[in-house]
Structure 1
Amino acid sequence: MNDIGELRRLLNRFRGRTSREQVGLPPLRAGRPGVRAKGLTQGAIDTLLDWPTGAYQRLESGRQRRIREEQLDDLGDLFQLNDAEYVELYVLATGQRPRRTRHPESDVAGPSLAAWRRMVDMVPEPAYVTDLEWDLVAGNAAFNSVFASGKAPQNPMRWVLFEQEAREAVLVDWATAWAPECISQLRVVAAENPENPRLQQLYQDVLDDPVLRRIHDQAEVSCLIPDGGIRPFYHRLRGGGNVSTLSAHLSGSPGATLVILMLDVTAPLDNCGSRDRAASSARRPRSSPLPQAGVVTPRVPVLAGI
Structure 2
Amino acid sequence: MQPDNKAFQQLCRARRRSLSPTDVGLQERPRRTGPRVEGLLQTDVDVLMATGIGTYQKVETLKLTPSPRLFRKIALALRFKESEFVQCHLDLFGTAPGLSLYPDASLSVPPAYKEKVEGQRHICCVQNRRWQPVYWNAAFVELFPSGVVPDDLARWCLTSDEARDPDYGVMINWDALWGPLLVPHFVASAKAFPDDEVLQETNRLVQQDERVRSLHERGENAYIHPDGGRRPLRHGTLGPGSAELLADAPQTALGARVITIIFHPDKGQPGPDP
Whether TM exceeds 0.5 here: the answer is yes
Name the counterpart of 2:77: 78
Contact 2:125 2:140 in 1 (8 A): yes
CA gap 1:25/1:203 in 2 versus in 1, 3 angstroms: same
Secondary structure, in 3 states, of the residue corresponding to 2:66? coil
Give the AA of the match of 1:25.
L
Does the residue aligned with 2:266 lie in a helix, a strand or coil? strand
Counting aligned pairs with the same residue, the percent is 25
Q: Partner of 1:263: helix, strand, or coil? A: strand
C-alpha separation in 2, matches of 1:99 and 1:121: 30
Taking a change above 3 Å as real, the CA distance of residues 99 and 33 of structure 1, as seen in their structure-2 partners, is same
**1:91–1:186 distance in 2 versus 1, CA, 3 Å:** closer
The secondary structure found in structure 1 opposite 2:264 is strand
State the Cα distance separating 1:142 from its structure 2 match.
Answer: 1.4
Unmatched segments (≥5 aa) in structure 1: 271-306
1:203 aligns with 2:200: no
SS of 2:53 mapped into structure 1: coil
RMSD between superposed Cα atoms in Å? 2.2
Question: How do residues 122-161 of structure 1 correspond to structure 2 at under 5 angstroms?
Answer: 122-161=119-158
Q: Structure 1 length normalisation: TM-score? A: 0.78
- Cα offset, 1:4, TM superposition: 5.0
Over 3 Å counting, the alpha-carbon distance change for 1:183 and 1:3 in structure 2 is closer
Aligned partners of 1:188 and 1:224 also within 8 Å: yes
Return closer, same or farther for 1:221/1:195 CA change in 2, 3 Å cut-off.
closer
Residues 239, 267 of structure 1: 8 Å contact kept: no
Whether 1:43 aligns to 2:43 is yes
What does 1:1-306 correspond to in 2, within 5 Å?
A: 2-3=3-4, 5-30=6-31, 32-64=32-64, 66-92=65-91, 94=92, 96-103=94-101, 106-109=106-109, 112-113=110-111, 115-168=112-165, 169-218=169-218, 220-266=220-266, 268=268
After superposition, the Cα gap between the structure-2 partners of 1:134 and 1:182, relative to the gap in structure 1 and judged at 3 Å, is: same
Structure 1 residues 144, 195: CA separation in 2 closer, same or farther (over 3 Å shift)?
Answer: same
Q: Which has the larger radius of gyration?
A: 1
Conserved 8 A contact 1:178-1:231? yes
Per-residue deviation, residues 3-60 of structure 1 (Å, max 9, x unmatched): 5554432221111122211222111122x23432111111222233222222221221
Amino acid across the alignment from 2:70:
Q
CA distance in 1, matches of 2:54, 2:120: 56
> What is the TM-score with the length of structure 2 in the denominator?
0.87
1:245 deviates by: 0.9
Output one character per residue of 1:268-306: Cα deviation in whole Å (capped at 9) or x when no partner.
458xxxxxxxxxxxxxxxxxxxxxxxxxxxxxxxxxxxx
Q: Residue 218 of structure 1: CA displacement?
A: 2.3
CA distance in structure 1 between the partners assigned to 2:219 and 2:226 by the alignment: 17
Kept in 1, the 8 Å contact 2:98–2:193? The answer is: no
